[in-house]
Amino acid sequence: PNAPQPPTTAFAAPGPDDHRTPLPAATIVGYPRIGPDRELKKAEEAYWAGRIDRAELDRRTTALRAATRDRLVGLGLDQPAAIPETFSLYDQVLDAAVTVGAIPSRFADVLAETGIVDADGYFTLARGDAERPPLEMTKWFDTNYHYLVPEIGPGTDLHLASTQVIDLFTEAREAGVTTRPVLVGPLTLLLLAKAEDDAPEGFTPLDRLDDVVTVYAELLQRLAAAGAPWVQLDEPILATDLGLTADELAEALRRSIGRLASGPATQSGPAEPAASALGTPGARPQILVTTPYGGIGDALPALLATGVDAVHLDLTRGDLPTTEQLAGIGRTALVAGLVEGRTVWRTELPTAAARLDALRDRVRSAGGDPAAVTAATSVSLQHVPHSLDRETALDPALRATLAFADEKVAEVVSLAGGDVAPGDVDGPRSVVRDFPGVRDRAVRDRVAALGADAGRRAPFAERQAAQDEALHLPLLPTTTIGSFPQTAEVRRARADHRAGRLDEAGYREAMRAEIDRVIALQEELGLDVLVHGEAERNDMVQYFAEHLDGFVVTEHGWVQSYGSRCTRPSILFGDVSRPEAITVAWSQYAQSLTDKPVKGMLTGPVTILAWSFVRDDQPLADTATQVALALRDEIADLEAAGIGIVQVDEPALRELLPLRRAEQDAYLRWSVESFRVATAGATAATQIHTHLCYSEFNEVIDAIDGLDADVTSIESARSRGEVVDAIDPARFERGIGPGVWDIHSPRVPGTEEIVELLRHAEQRIGARRLWANPDCGLKTRGYAETEASLRHLVDATRQVREEV
């Protein structure tokens, strides 16, 4: 209320002599920035380790951007503003936060005297330093990409604190390419941000909307001065349920996008020298607002009402807008996200072309310009690998159904060029996914034969009695989450084995030696439920993908997970089955070394789907059931081999939760059911554990209950036990292990600190169902801190046991 009212300058309706640069017929929302050979990762890690200097880092990242532009121009994005500049040194949300000066006060020193953040300051925010934790990291919408959470308070000095967006535009311009600068938009930035720690009760970052928009306005003016005809503001937050009324949403859009779009756009874009336009009041590039990751439904009329120059829609997840929703289109151009940017499947182009035609018809009926409809991707291509070119080992029939980033750019270009006959679904441009492995009769028959009670175990009371009898665990049992530190020798043995330098017998010996060490250590530490340590696993999903039918793994299919971290998701293309036991020999060997129970270790169906590229020719639920049945067989084999406890990890359960509440129930139903199908074959005496790795789990608490696992371990140490407070002991009767050691940092927790956490948990949920364990697996930790921390954990548990 006391905030200044935004200027209300009307959008100057352009006349017939309007020479503004139109959006080209084809574009994309964004492109991978890691480089086909992970050049970005390599350059940054070398810089952080001090092996190269700043000049060399700049040289390499500049070369990477140049190569990306050349590639995209070559693929047909050769018009001005066709290429979005989505390079980032670490994360696009951090880029936006730094651009507007959203620097938490603990990092005030990264703002040099000039008020500008340089690359070193930027990396400090992203990675922290010896004294200060970095910005928190969390998942970007329903993807496996992680962004840094901006922190904003009432006193944050919002100002233009980075000129990177302008510099990158100029760099490309000087190389002869007019790009489209991209920034996360003001609403998404503020709604993803959290209030700074010392902010007063009731403050939310959105309270700073007008101040943030002022900085965006200044940036836009500077971009116009630099000659940018277009700028892209990403507002994926519009694809989520914001909890705002229609009026509140319209008001937020008016105050942000509406205000930015209120001045006249620059005429004819690029020609003028930078200095002359600087300071021209109101001069701005044309604005494209993108809305990836889902449909925006009724936010569209409000967005059109802002007078923005172009709106992008995700039409792979969202429906075509209706003529009524388009009623206010006026001169706003539409960007049709018809090529799915987050899967690796080729687009059914005739279908996409038919939808593009249908959209043009609706735009025409709504009084808009059907020629001003651009073909595009649904989301940034940052979620898919660079190019199929190098995947030479793939089966040609499978390969013909795939499209990575470059192939998707080509799809957009051919859609835009009209070289696909709409609706010709049997024609040469359509995708036939029918080759050996896609459909497996035996798998389908088995799924069809599953009865309604396929996911039911004996009642918990009966299981508990049988497990007490079988396992003889002490009160407050201690355990770990599965993996132990992956030492250089372990990694080397795996690599040598993969490359053929180490034969099967030598490899087995190396892994057994590692299991010997890990079991001996756990016995010496006095843990109650042991693990074999997962030394044989490169990755908790890829390991299973490599051993199941229906998957292929790529050679170079890297995608960015966060910062310099990349993952190489497997491709689940066909019906899933388990040709032979996967983990049994390792678990059995570990069990042969000890009298303590060894916990078998599997990855759950939802996590296997979430961290792979999954076929989209059948519902995810059906694919999940197939994976679940393969895991069910594995559990049966583990039981037969004498393993009495099996953990089925589902760290990604929350990640796949749909962004729209209306779709969440259906998701939770099938995801929970798939876990139950996987575990329901276990006898009452077999103790089933699960592990979830996130602390904000309120939305999924019913689902966690529904998994019906005998023991659930959850991340909790960083949130100081808040998870425990969220659990209603009257409802959640089964075992629970709130993590009491934050394994995400090398810090060793003191015994007293663990005692406190355990006491707190004990008071809340009682000793009978409480377990003591770390937050997550230990594979990224070193042995020194692992040993010390586990020793403290065991000591603390013994102390608390005495007290109860």
- Interacting partner of 33 out of ligand GLN, Zn ion, none (Cβ under 5 to 8 A depending on kind): none
531 in contact with Zn ion (CB under 5 A): no
The nearer residue to Zn ion, 27 or 478, going by C-beta atoms, is 478
711 binds ligand GLN (CB under 6 A): no
Which residue's CB is nearer to ligand GLN, number 574 or number 774?
A: 774
Rounded-to-integer distance, Cα 515 and Cα 527, Å? 15
Q: Residue 20 and residue 760: Cα distance in Å, rounded?
A: 64
Q: Which of 6, 651, 721, 737 binds ligand GLN (CB under 6 A)?
A: 651
Nearer residue to ligand GLN within complex by CB, 209 or 601: 601
The residue range among 565-573, 606-614, 690-698, 739-747 that interacts with Zn ion, by the rule CB under 5 A, is 690-698
Length of the chain: 804
Choose one: 480-488, 492-500, 553-561, 704-712; the region binding ligand GLN (CB under 6 A). 480-488
Amino acid, single-letter form, for residue 392: T
Strand order in the sheet with 570-577: 549-552, 570-577, 612-614
The CA distances from residue 670 to 86, 343, 625, 703, in Å, are: 36, 21, 9, 10
Closest Cα to residue 556, out of 65, 33, 35?
Answer: 35
For residue 214, the surrounding DSSP H or E stretch is helix 209-226
Catalytic site residue from 547, 556, 744, 760: 744
Residue 599 binds ligand GLN (CB under 6 A): no
Are the beta carbons of 142 and 655 closer than 8 angstroms? yes
| Residue 601 in the binding site for ligand GLN (CB under 6 A) | yes
Which CB, 162 or 603, lies closer to ligand GLN? 603
| Closest residue by beta carbon to ligand GLN | 777
Which stretches of 477-624 are assigned E, i.e. beta strand?
Answer: 549-552, 559-562, 565-567, 570-577, 599-603, 612-614
757 binds ligand GLN (CB under 6 A): no
Residue 714 binding Zn ion, by CB under 5 A: no
- List beta partners, residue 267: none
How many residues belong to the site for ligand GLN (CB under 6 A)? 13
Q: Which of residues 757-776 bind Zn ion (CB under 5 A)?
A: 776
Name the phi and psi angles at 471, rounded to 5.
-105, -25
What is the distance between the alpha carbons of residues 617 and 612, in angstroms, rounded to a whole number? Answer: 15
3-state helix, strand, coil in the chain (%, to 5): 40, 15, 45
Instruction: Give the whole-angstrom CA distance, residue 305 versus residue 253.
Output: 9
Q: Write down the least CB distance from residue 526 to ligand GLN, Å.
A: 20
Q: Report what 678 binds from ligand GLN, Zn ion, none; CB cut-off 5-8 Å by kind.
A: none
> Between 509 and 548, how does the x/- string for binding to ligand GLN read (CB under 6 A)?
-------------------------x-----x--------
CA distances from 304 to 186, 308, 312, 327, 414 (A): 17, 6, 11, 9, 28
**Distance of closest approach, residue 600 Cβ to ligand GLN, in angstroms:** 11
Contact by Cβ (8 Å): 778, 786: yes
| Number of residues engaging Zn ion in binding (CB under 5 A) | 3
With CB under 5 A as the contact rule, the residue among 23, 693, 714, 772 that binds Zn ion is 693
Place of tokens 């396992």: 471
Q: Do residues 316 and 295 touch, judged by C-beta distance below 8 A?
A: no
Q: How far is the CB of 276 from Zn ion (least distance, A)?
A: 56
744 is a catalytic site residue: yes
For residue 550, the tally of other CB atoms under 10 A from its CB is 23
229 binds, among Zn ion, ligand GLN, none (CB under 5 to 8 A by kind): none
Among the candidate windows 155-163, 213-221, 476-484, 664-672, which touches ligand GLN by CB under 6 A?
Answer: 476-484
652-691 footprint of ligand GLN as x/- string (CB under 6 A): ---------------------------------------x
Q: Does 285 bind ligand GLN (CB under 6 A)?
A: no
CA distances from 740 to 33, 571, 725, 737, 759 (A): 37, 35, 14, 8, 11
Nearer to Zn ion, 23 or 530 (CB): 530
Q: Is 779 in the site for ligand GLN (CB under 6 A)?
A: yes
| Residue 384 or 743 with smaller CB distance to ligand GLN | 743
Question: Which residues make up the interface to ligand GLN (CB under 6 A)?
Answer: 481-483, 534, 540, 601, 649, 651, 691, 693, 776-777, 779
Active site residues: 744
Question: Which residues make up the interface to Zn ion (CB under 5 A)?
Answer: 651, 693, 776
